[in-house]
């Protein structure tokens, strides 16, 4: 089966400059990290959305993921996190309200969030924990092309699970890059450049862009920490 690139993350001492041409910035956030409390960086509607969640842990994860996104965008744009304003596409993809060449995408699951930043083209990113789930073969039949589904059906359970998450994260990243939904036909998105990688052991992620995807050697992989946030304020 496929062996994926495992990303090595660095903790920046200062906030980086905008991504250069041909460069991609990836940020990782441990959204339950001690000392990380970003709810007060959110807009009122985001705070309300978080507080409506049934479990406090889900509110914390959501608040720190969205607050991390706001803090990172604010760092690039030299704005306070709360001053960032979003607009949303038909399928809910956020964009910066004020014109900017900066594009971004957020994904979060469990204790992890990933944010992709580009200064050139629209981008999509997805993250999934690699673990057995109910009805995975039925899901594969429903969302993947017949070609991919037939390929998956030939595999034993372990190989099926690995390849399922590769294809799933690829599809999610591609449709998020376009601002579409996961039920978009594969024939409409298969042309979009996409790369899988491992953000941490036991996880699978993918990043995609309708244009030229930066080579992994040109990715700047950054860890967002409470110390960095406090330094930025």
Quick: pLDDT tens for 34-79.
989 999 999 999 999 999 998 999 999 999 999 999 999 999 999 9
Collapsing DSSP to helix, strand or coil, 152 comes out as helix
CA distances (Å), 2 to each of 40, 83, 87, 111, 131, in order? 42, 43, 38, 25, 17
- Please report where in the chains the tokens 């920046």 appear, as a residue: 12
Rounded CA separation 4/6 (Å)? 6
Radius of gyration (Cα) for the chain, nearest Å? 18
Measure the CA angle with vertex 17, ends 11 and 22; round to 5°: 100
Contact 103, 123 (CB under 8 A): yes
Enumerate the domain spans of the chain.
5-232
Phi, psi of 175 (to 5 degrees): -70, -30
Residues belonging to the chain: 233
Quick: pLDDT tens for 104-156.
999 999 999 999 999 988 999 999 998 877 788 888 888 888 888 888 888 88
Phi, psi of 67 (to 5 degrees): -65, -35
Domain 5-232, what fold?
A: Ribosomal Protein L22; Chain A (3.90.470)
pLDDT at residue 191 in the model: 87
Tell me how crowded residue 208 is: count the other CB atoms within 10 A of its CB.
Answer: 28
Phi, psi of 174 (to 5 degrees): -65, -45
Grade residue 233 by pLDDT with cuts at 50, 70 and 90: low
Query: Quick one: how far is CA 232 from the chain centroid?
Result: 22
Is the entire prediction scored with pTM above 0.85? yes
Longest distance between any two alpha carbons in the chain, whole Å: 53
Give one DSSP letter per residue of 162-230, joined into a string. Answer: HHHHHHHHHHHHHHHHHT--TTS-HHHHTTS-EEEEESSTTEEEEEE-SSPPPPGGGEEEEEE-HHHHH
């Amino acid at each position: 089966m496929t062996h994926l690139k495992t990303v090595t993350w660095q903790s920046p001492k200062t906030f980086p400059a905008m991504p250069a041409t041909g460069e991609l910035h990836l940020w990782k956030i441990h959204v339950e990290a001690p000392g990380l409390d970003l709810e007060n960086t959110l807009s009122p509607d985001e705070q309300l959305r978080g507080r409506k969640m049934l479990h406090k842990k889900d509110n914390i994860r959501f608040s720190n993921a969205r607050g991390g996104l706001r803090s990172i965008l604010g760092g690039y744009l030299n704005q306070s996190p709360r001053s960032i304003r979003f607009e949303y596409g038909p399928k809910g993809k956020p964009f910066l309200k004020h014109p900017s060449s900066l594009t971004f995408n957020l994904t979060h699951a469990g204790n992890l969030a990933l944010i992709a930043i580009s200064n050139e083209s629209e981008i999509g990113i997805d993250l999934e924990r690699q673990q057995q789930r109910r009805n995975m073969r039925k899901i594969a039949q429903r969302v993947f092309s017949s070609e991919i589904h037939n390929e998956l059906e030939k595999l034993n359970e372990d190989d099926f699970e690995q390849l399922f998450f590769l294809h799933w994260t690829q599809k999610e990243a591609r449709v998020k890059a376009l601002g579409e939904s996961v039920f978009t036909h594969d024939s409409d998105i298969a042309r979009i450049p996409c790369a899988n990688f491992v953000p941490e052991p036991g996880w699978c992620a993918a990043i995609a862009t309708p244009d030229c995807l930066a080579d992994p050697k040109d990715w700047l992989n950054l860890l967002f920490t409470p110390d960095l946030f406090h330094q930025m304020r």
